[in-house]
Structure 1
Amino acid sequence: MTGRPEPPVLPPVLRAPLALIAALATLTVVVLGVLYAGHSQSGRVDRWVVQPTADSVRPPWRRVALATDFLGEPAGSAILIVVAVTVCLSLRRPRAAVLVVAGVGVTVVTGTLLKSLVGRTIHGADNLSYPSGHTAFFTALALAVALLATGGLGLTRAAGTSLVLGAALVAGAAMGWSQVALSAHYPTDVLGGWCTALVVVPATAWLIDRVADVGRRERR
């Protein structure tokens, strides 16, 4: 093969900072999970952020919240994933396309498992809430896209870390706001979902790179 090898989806300059961030995020997910395991009401931190109500926002902001929430629903998330994968393939970055699908998928599965394990509920025993799956999904997708941009632009460690964290923060804040505003999640559920993505996506990217590099060496 004479073609240039595809760059890693986890740029080497970001491995150390994202590993540290993932470690802190893991600690946050675990601590919040232990604190709110089996709970069915907002905690002190949640009430400090916002007093829970059944109607936290009114038109036109409620429509904005509903539109944002739709992006985390099956139909909306499928559209976003298809668009992101199409962009990755058009840029000839199949590894990045794999990260979009695998990173988002593993994040959602991890969040679902954590919900069953923690057992925190909202609006009834059937509505498991911790961590927020919508927030985890949206943050994971933003992370995958930001990692693609960082590698493609060849950014430095500082610039790349700022871009990746900035994208994660904007995505997590937007989706998290909609979930709290619609009274679908507690604020700490949102934080847990955000941190879940910060743990899973970099780890998935690293694993994809390892598998791809091993496969390339074996084909030589």
Structure 2
Amino acid sequence: MIARPPLLLPLLALAAFLALAVPVLTDWAPLDRADHALSETFREYGDQRPGLVSALRILTDVAATIPFLVAGLLATILLAARRDRRAAVFCATVTVTVPVLWGLAHWLLHNPRPLDGFVTVSSNGFPSGHTSNAAAAALVVVLLAWPRLARTGRLVTVTAAIAFAVFVGLTRVALLAHWPTDVLGGWLLALTVVPLAAYAVRERTPARAG
């Protein structure tokens, strides 16, 4: 089973993503200054706390592309084995679509990352791939778990999902791997793709296999 999210959510998220992509692409000065100011604050904080930076380098990779793909594949196999075709297709769709879309955005927008960050990354920055992966995984868990849980369980699941997505996004900014706008773009990408995938799968895929 997959919960039905409000259709307005992905539409608003898509509009916000596109509205953010335009000033990012054109290097709009006020947004650029805000990005640099926040990043410099995190740089000063990180310079004084090398132990924290080392810990964040490890923790942030829980949402890297390979762990995201492996987790998505395992979840898809498990759901298929339980003969929940709709949930399996949903999970597989998100697992494939999210990295493809943020990778395409990297290629199209060519937005550079901060210089001299605490991690070495050579690809473009907008939107943050780690953040997109984390937020997408969190949303998938919420939408799959929602119909099966009571009110308390839903509250715990949503709170944990939000905390995970926010934490990964903050690690990307704290490590100077991304600008804050890259992270915001990652959250918006996931808020667009995952609910739309849920709608498409609910409409076109039988609930049970066989």
- Counterpart of 2:76, as a letter, is V
- Counterpart of 1:21, as a letter, is L
Shift of 1:60: 3.1
| 1:192 equivalenced with 2:185 (yes/no) | yes
User: TM-score scaled by structure 2?
Assistant: 0.78
Q: Which residue does the alignment assign to 1:28?
A: 16
| 1:133 equivalenced with 2:123 (yes/no) | no
Q: After superposition, give the CA deviation of every residue in 1:134-167 in whole Å (9 maximum; x if it has no partner).
A: 1001110111111111022266xxx96x677645
Shift of 1:29: 0.8
Q: After superposition, give the CA deviation of every residue in 1:5-54 in whole Å (9 maximum; x if it has no partner).
A: xx3x2x24x3x3xx222222112211111001054997233245342639
User: TM-score scaled by structure 1?
Assistant: 0.75
Q: Which residue does the alignment assign to 1:202?
A: 195
User: Which segment drifts farther, 97-106 or 76-85?
Assistant: 76-85
Unaligned runs of 5+ in 1: 1-6
Q: How does 1:8-27 map to 2 (within 5 A)?
A: 9=2, 11-12=3-4, 14=5, 16=6, 19-27=7-15
Rounded to whole Å, the distance in 2 between the matches of 1:178 and 1:145 is 21
User: Which segment drifts farther, 203-212 or 146-155?
Assistant: 146-155
| CA RMSD between the two structures | 3.3
Q: Secondary structure at the match of 1:183?
A: coil
Q: Which residue does the alignment assign to 2:175?
A: 182
Q: Secondary structure at the match of 2:199?
A: helix
Rounded to whole Å, the distance in 2 between the matches of 1:190 and 1:90 is 35
Rounded to whole Å, the distance in 2 between the matches of 1:164 and 1:107 is 21
Rounded to whole Å, the distance in 1 between the matches of 2:194 and 2:157 is 11
- Counterpart of 2:98, as a letter, is T
Unaligned runs of 5+ in 2: 116-121
- State the percentage of identical aligned residues: 26
Shift of 1:55: 8.1
- Counterpart of 1:142, as a letter, is A
Rounded to whole Å, the distance in 1 between the matches of 2:156 and 2:32 is 32
Of 111, 114, 117, the residue aligned with 1:120 is 111
* 8 Å CA contact 2:85, 2:205 repeated in 1: no
